[in-house]
Structure 1
Amino acid sequence: MDGSGDSVVLEAVTRHYGSGDGRVTALDGVTVRFGHGTFTAVMGPSGSGKSTLLQCAAGLDRPTSGRVVVAGQDLGRLSERKLTALRRDRIGFVFQAFNLMPSLTAEQNVALPLRLAGRRPDRHTVRQGLAAVGLGERARHRPAELSGGQQQRVAIARALVTRPAVLFADEPTGALDAGTSREVLHLLRTLVDRHAQTLVMVTHDPAAAAHADRVLFLADGRVRDELTDPDAGGVAARMLRLEASC
């Protein structure tokens, strides 16, 4: 598996926690690839390994065995310093909690990853990022002056400011109402379709997963099923079948 044309490749990835009788297998020999410019949703029952898969794929956690390649870089061969630099420059993160700095404006929040990397933010680039998520007129507003959906849009703009090879989203609509969730998911879909952004999203919501190109279903640390061109009804049916078999 050379990973050519893929933004992320996991090859026979296993992750154990603990030892002896208390050892827990969070991932059990997972092999999967995420192609450039694709949108993949990851679903599964609680404890299925979704979060661990995301953390290993994003370089936040090192697998017990197996191989993870992101943007052509084998993460297992990188020092902690180089791994930190790769996460900062080539990987974007969006979480359920927006994690914005309350004392900073939207513009300053978006520019923060560049400042932390020791790079002087280009104001035009930052403003472009906010405009791309529909917040060009809210650059000087602080998080408390924005709705939940607008705050998540700022978080997405912040994640994209370094032009990452892949964007990982962990329940990005979990704190939003149904209407706002649809707006954010439409934005994520647009990033994939218009800008060839690679996107991997963990979700529990079949309606959210239906925005993806494919859905991976995990159970007991293994990929148990896959659905391409999903719709919400098909995703919900697969989840019911998966949960019944666990």
Structure 2
Amino acid sequence: MTTQTVTLTGLRAVYGSGNRRVTALDGVTTGFDSGTFTAVMGPSGSGKSTLLHCAAGLDRPAEGVVTVDGVRLDRLGEDDLTRLRRDRIGFVFQAFNLISTLTAAQNVALPLRLAGRGPSDDEATAALAAVGLADRARHRPSELSGGEQQRVAIARALATRPAVVFADEPTGALDSTASHQVLRLLRGLVDGHGQTVVMVTHDPAAAAYADRVLLLADGRLVDELTGPLTTGEIAARITDLAAEPSC
């Protein structure tokens, strides 16, 4: 039986008030199966990043329920929510967010140190080896390419062995060669290690690496594509979506 690492039920997110009130999510219900790779796409302002932030516990929705690894986030206080994010959720962003004064290995070990664990050198090296960078463990970010920095960020996200990795435009700052390296890495984590990955992207070529593509528009889930998918098929559906009138 397939289990879902993350579930979203009736998710509604609202920002501002009065004439500036914006509904970023409007009753979104979906889930992310364990050991799968899901891409979330949609036009600018469709609610992609809001969905990711609510699913990851970075923002609290106005209504609805988010469950991560069997835990309802709405039932957690801020301290418990912080611990869950630290221990069970990995984050990868467009900006690598590495600390410039630390080596790659030290950056990878940082979440474990913040969790009160004293990680061994072997743990950090193993995480870097998983992303193909064992030989770069002592290099600082300035000595690494953009693609290598993002791979260090992925190793850091994996350091706590999270239930799910959320990636927000992880290839947005990379050239095409580095982008494909990062996407192949994420795909390999799913196929080889059963990792659950949820990625927000605007790029159909990136989304084609996923098992499933969720399409959002005006804060609503309007379509779902399942793989294997080609870049052209995804791009065509995005084009059709952009041409459809808003409800």
TM (norm. structure 1) is 0.98
1:51 partner amino acid: S
Aligned-partner SS, 2:38: strand
Distance 1:175 1:129 in 2: 23
1:69 partner amino acid: T
Name the counterpart of 1:160: 158
1:79 CA drift (Å): 0.6
Distance 1:84 1:31 in 2: 24
Name the counterpart of 1:237: 236
2:212 partner amino acid: R
Distance 1:20 1:12 in 2: 23
Distance 1:191 1:23 in 2: 40
Q: Which moved more, 1:13-22 or 1:154-163?
A: 13-22
* Number of residue-to-residue matches in the alignment: 244
Aligned-partner SS, 2:205: helix
TM (norm. structure 2) is 0.97
1:21 CA drift (Å): 2.7
Aligned-partner SS, 1:234: helix
Distance 2:119 2:20 in 1: 47
Distance 2:100 2:33 in 1: 35
Name the counterpart of 1:25: 23
Q: After the TM superposition, which residues 20-59 of structure 1 pair with which residues of structure 2 at under 5 Å, given as runs? A: 20-59=18-57
Runs of 4 or more consecutive aligned structure 1 residues displaced over 4 Å after TM superposition = none
Q: Which moved more, 1:152-161 or 1:117-126?
A: 117-126
1:20 CA drift (Å): 2.6
Distance 1:115 1:180 in 2: 29
Distance 1:169 1:244 in 2: 27
Q: After the TM superposition, which residues 4-15 of structure 1 pair with which residues of structure 2 at under 5 Å, given as runs? A: 5-15=3-13
Aligned-partner SS, 2:26: strand
Q: Which runs of 5+ in 2 are unaligned?
A: none
1:118 CA drift (Å): 1.5
1:108 partner amino acid: Q
Q: Which runs of 5+ in 1 are unaligned?
A: none
Aligned-partner SS, 1:60: coil
Distance 2:11 2:178 in 1: 35
Distance 2:195 2:167 in 1: 12
Quick one: percent identity of the two aligned structures?
69
1:19 CA drift (Å): 2.0
Name the counterpart of 2:71: 73
Name the counterpart of 2:122: 124
Distance 2:62 2:243 in 1: 29
Aligned-partner SS, 1:217: strand
Aligned-partner SS, 1:42: strand
Distance 1:141 1:20 in 2: 51
Name the counterpart of 2:210: 212
Distance 1:72 1:85 in 2: 15
Distance 1:152 1:24 in 2: 33
